[in-house]
A and B are shown apart, each in its own frame.
Chain A
């Protein structure tokens, strides 16, 4: 009886020690799922999801604090990918969120006073300028997050929808036109 208890206790202690050591030795610094979620998110850093950037949102999803359908720039494709990654059902975009066509911010150069407020607001450093110098937005780097609109004291920034050009044109989903026959 006593032998059995001792043996089992010994085994328990040994395995416990092993587990303790393993949890220390194989310790993961950061949850890798956050990286995977972050990789799917569009990195506009717009904050429309209610979090201050894509990574905080990814962390919130990983912790189960946020839903996967809070990202309008990512849209349906993003939700699908997140659903697949996390093994949950895909769902439509959350309430109050609407997908918008891709746009870039453009500064009206006649109105800009060179206050640098938009430069400070831009999450991806896409605005060039200095104090009392005309600012401009590097269109290729702009993610269309709209965060520069609010701080501008003279309202000289406007969002411009990217027009269809030969180099960004896409084949459309085939639709069959219905004809009235009778």
Chain B
């Protein structure tokens, strides 16, 4: 029996799990229309590779990964792409995102899918495969899985943890997945174990899911590698990656470091299951289990294709009951309010809760912080939430950073226990996004500075070069000899010129009067007379330019 290392803080919450665990995972009938966002993961959005009018098959790649942190997007069914356009998406901002809209043809024909020999292939090749099949973490952060399967600088990652805690109230998709598909989940874990070179595989499950624990224990007994199924005490947020790591191994994640640096990698159980589908069957991530619960007639879990409009998903559970005041995507602690039910299911959506006012009353008005310190006692990241709140409220972001704001996992324990009902996490999210934006601005301004400096340098260089050229021209004209010595081309030119001048001089000297032999005395006398005149007035001739040609 593995020793449990409790983490600091945490809160006990009303679970509301049984509402949606009464029925098996349901299958949804094929819908006429799917809307697949191209940005479903953390990192660079996928680039669309289809255009309106294209015919696509189920599992066909419609968005190509780009950049380091990215993953592909695939068609959930066969049909025709009717648009690639901005469409409402499930996001706290309520903004629209670029989506591929597919009108299904009802045939649901698939591309040819086949598994790969992951045991013998090069790990880099398997990772590329995982990236092309669109795998991203299904626990909520949707980080591209291919990157998490890299060992980095380490020779191997000794510990693989499967996260089946599912600590948030209402959500039961991982619970149902483990109950029904324990065997396949552990097969996915085998692949992860192989790629990471892990020797210890731990599955952490909160002890409020006895059936999931039993199913996984049974599957673990038959697994060809050692797996330890560990029941962890039910205490929110035991499903946080850092908290679960501490619970199972006693290791703490140092500030600003990745868990792989302490030899641990954590994956959600749903991701492990998708990994099995991807590598063993060649199926891309085109569906996931989603919990539909709250104020609906038949709450339960559904295997929903990515791109299923959320209102259709709600309809599968019987639709909203009268008195529904809104919907939460995710759980009540970390989720956000849905703006538009036309938004589709994406890889990040694990749960949708229909709210009614008795269960989800409007937030009480916030009152001043009395510095009671309850938030610090509840904080699982061992931060001082009241100090963070103080500085975030004052927009003193440097101070919030010094108080380790980025260790905050936004679990909401502090807001939950706050007797003044201060929406603390909202302040931390605000501060975090301001700091991130500021960092991006700083990068942009550094780039602008470099470009500006280079431009200044270039302009000065051009000016200098122009001045030098002018100066050179001037000196060449004034003093050709001085320049000729250090310039072979000019020297050559000068030599040619010199030779020509000399030739001309020689020719001039060599010119002698012709036809002077055998002259008659009269002609000779005439010539003499002409010569005498020429001698007498050479300056006049030169001045007037006239040739002394007239005969006497």
Interface residues in chain A, defined as those with a beta carbon under 8 Å from any beta carbon in chain B: 38, 41-45, 53-54, 77, 123-126, 141, 143, 164-174, 176
Contacts and interface: CB of A to CB of B under 8 A. Distances in A.
B438 interface: yes
Interface of B: 39, 45, 89, 91-93, 95, 97, 365-366, 395, 423, 426-427, 429-430, 432-434, 437-438, 441, 444-449, 451-452, 454-455
A171 B426 contact: yes
Nearest to B458: A125
Majority secondary structure of chain B interface residues (helix, strand, loop or mixed): helix
A117 to B, nearest CB: 15
B95 A124 contact: no
Contacts of A44: 445, 448
Contacts, number: 69
Nearest to B431: A171
B93 A169 contact: yes
Contacts of A169: 91, 93, 95, 433
Contact of B447 (A141, A164, A165, A167): A141
A168 B95 CA distance: 11
Nearest to A164: B95
Contacts of A77: 438
Given A124-B452, A165-B95, 15 more contacts: A43-B452, A53-B452, A123-B455, A124-B448, A124-B451, A125-B451, A125-B455, A141-B447, A141-B448, A166-B39, A166-B93, A169-B433, A170-B433, A171-B426, A174-B427
B452 A176 contact: no
A65 B182 CA distance: 72
B433 A43 contact: no
B97 A166 contact: yes
Query: 7 shortest A-B CB distances, which residue pairs?
Result: A43-B445, A43-B448, A174-B426, A171-B429, A124-B451, A170-B433, A43-B449
Nearest to A126: B451
A165 B438 CA distance: 17
A168 to B, nearest CB: 8
Contacts of B429: 171
A127 to B, nearest CB: 11
B443 to A, nearest CB: 11
A44 B446 CA distance: 10
Contacts of A164: 93, 95
Among A43, A125, A170, find the residue whose CB has the most chain B CB atoms closer than 10 A: A43
Contacts of B45: 167
Contacts of A126: 451
Contacts of A173: 395, 430
Contacts of B91: 166, 169
Nearest to A178: B365
A71 to B, nearest CB: 12
Chain B CB within 10 A, most for which of A53, A77, A171: A171
A100 to B, nearest CB: 15
Contacts of A124: 448, 451-452, 455
A77 to B, nearest CB: 7
A44 B447 CA distance: 10
A43 B97 CA distance: 31
B434 A170 contact: yes
Contact of A42 (B89, B92, B365, B441): B441
A38 B451 contact: no
Contacts of A170: 430, 433-434, 437
A123 B447 CA distance: 12
Specify which of B93, B433, B437, B449 lies most central, judged by the most chain A CB atoms within 10 Å of its CB: B449
